[in-house]
Amino acid sequence: MRETKKELKFFTIPAYRKEEEYLSKMHAKGWRLTRVSWPCVYHFEKCEPENVSYRLDYNQEGVAHKNEYVQMFADCGWEYLFDFVGYSYFRKVAGEGQENEEIFCDDASRLEMMRRVFKGRVTPLIVIFFCMILPQLSMNAFGYGGGSRAQDVIALCFVALAALYLVLFSAFAVQFYQYEKNLDITDNKYKAKYVGVAALMIFFVVFIGSVFWLSR
Amino acid sequence: MDAHIKKVYVPMTETGFYILLCLQEPNHGYGVVQKVKDLTNDAICLAPGTMYGSLSKMEKDGLITFLREEEKRKIYQITNLGREVLELEGKRIERLYGNMKEMMS
């Protein structure tokens, strides 16, 4: 029986780059990924430390035609691991002079993948945001059907939820923008911008929430 | 050829160009990867995520067509529309190359 371990780690939807880096680092430390389970638990087993590239793809068509999809990657030397919430996980031992091999070789296809992630993962979030969170937030903040203390608490919860959503949206928007402009994500200048946009969004939601609340 | 195809594929990516070029004969994705490696002396190594995405997109847009499956690999071939796009792109590159020769000599 091999030694195993679990780690709970959250990555925002578009941060698959960070996730890949994390998995490679774990493998270099002698922990091989075996599976990911709900909500974001990474399962590892002990192995020889090795320089391995991990890559994530998001391709619903590939998941639907698993055989040929996996075969294409296998032919190019990538081991298919599993799918988790739409993402397919691949890994490849980094050979001499082949560190950081990519599964995408041009920006057009990298952007195309971002688009697929956006369609598959972010669009449902936007629908939930506008059809559920915003209406609930305003109804509770206005105190429809009584205006009890409990409703204030619920309204606050929805403000927090709305803020969380907006942070996710802005994170995605900023990353998408960076991909499109082909910018370096690790650049601190853009990190500052990203935090700025997120803070602005939170401020906006809290402001709207308190206007609703005070105007009753 | 409708405007949408022209807008999306002219000018096209290097990946797209090599896929169409190689699929003048029936081949599967990995076959194209190997052929491009040979043609370019290992300078261009097409990656699987890019290949899979491009092939399914081109199939959807009618530039290539699926012939049959062999050992879990889909064999594709270029269509008439694909040839038209390839020719158009070829002319663009020819002009580019001609202008370069002119201006740099």
Q: What is the pTM of this model?
A: 0.81
How would residue B21 be classed by pLDDT, with cut points 50, 70 and 90? very high
Residues of B in contact with A105 (CB under 8 A): 15, 44-47, 50
HEC per residue, A117-134: HHHHHHHHHHHHHHHHHH
In chain A, % of residues over pLDDT 70: 87
Q: How, if at all, do strands B27-28 and B73-78 pair?
A: antiparallel
CB of A73 less than 8 A from some CB of B = yes
What are the tokens at A18? 């960070």
Helices (H), A3-75: 16-28, 60-64, 66-75
pLDDT value, residue A216: 63
**Partners of A79 in the beta sheet?**
A91
Average pLDDT, chain A: 83
Whether residues B48 and A103 touch (CB distance < 8 A) is answered with: yes
Q: What is the pLDDT of residues A40-97, one digit of tens each?
A: 899 999 999 999 999 999 999 999 999 999 999 999 999 999 999 889 999 999 877 6
Comparing A205 with B2, which gets the higher pLDDT?
B2
Of B18, B28, B22, B60, nearest to A76 (Cα)? B28
Chosen from B8, B72, B75, B76 to mutate, greatest number of chain A CBs within 10 A: B72
- Residue B27 predicted with pLDDT over 70: yes
pLDDT value, residue A179: 66
Residues of B in contact with A57 (CB under 8 A): 49
Q: Does domain B3-104 have CATH number 1.10.10.10?
A: yes
- Residue A192 predicted with pLDDT over 80: no
Q: What is the pLDDT of residues A95-124, one digit of tens each?
A: 776 777 899 998 889 888 888 888 888 788
How would residue A5 be classed by pLDDT, with cut points 50, 70 and 90? very high
What are the tokens at A85? 């919430």
How would residue A181 be classed by pLDDT, with cut points 50, 70 and 90? low
Residue B11 is given by DSSP the state S
Q: How many CB atoms lie within 10 A of CB A126?
A: 12
Instruction: Select the residue of A69, A75, A112 nearest B30 (Cβ to Cβ).
Output: A75
What is the spatial order of strands in the sheet that A31-37 belongs to?
A: A4-8, A41-46, A31-37
What are the tokens at A49? 């430390």
Q: How far is B97 from chain A (nearest CA, A)?
A: 22
How many Cα atoms sit within 13 Å of B97 on the Cβ side?
6
Chosen from B45, B52, B71 to mutate, greatest number of chain A CBs within 10 A: B52
Domain boundaries defined on chain B: 3-104
- Residue A180 predicted with pLDDT over 70: no
Instruction: Select the residue of A68, A105, A112 nearest B74 (Cβ to Cβ).
Output: A68
pLDDT value, residue A33: 96
pLDDT value, residue B58: 96
Q: What is the pLDDT of residues B29-83, one digit of tens each?
A: 999 999 999 999 999 999 999 999 999 999 999 999 999 999 999 999 999 999 9
- Please report, in angstroms and rounded to a whole number, the separation of the first and last CA atoms in chain B: 36
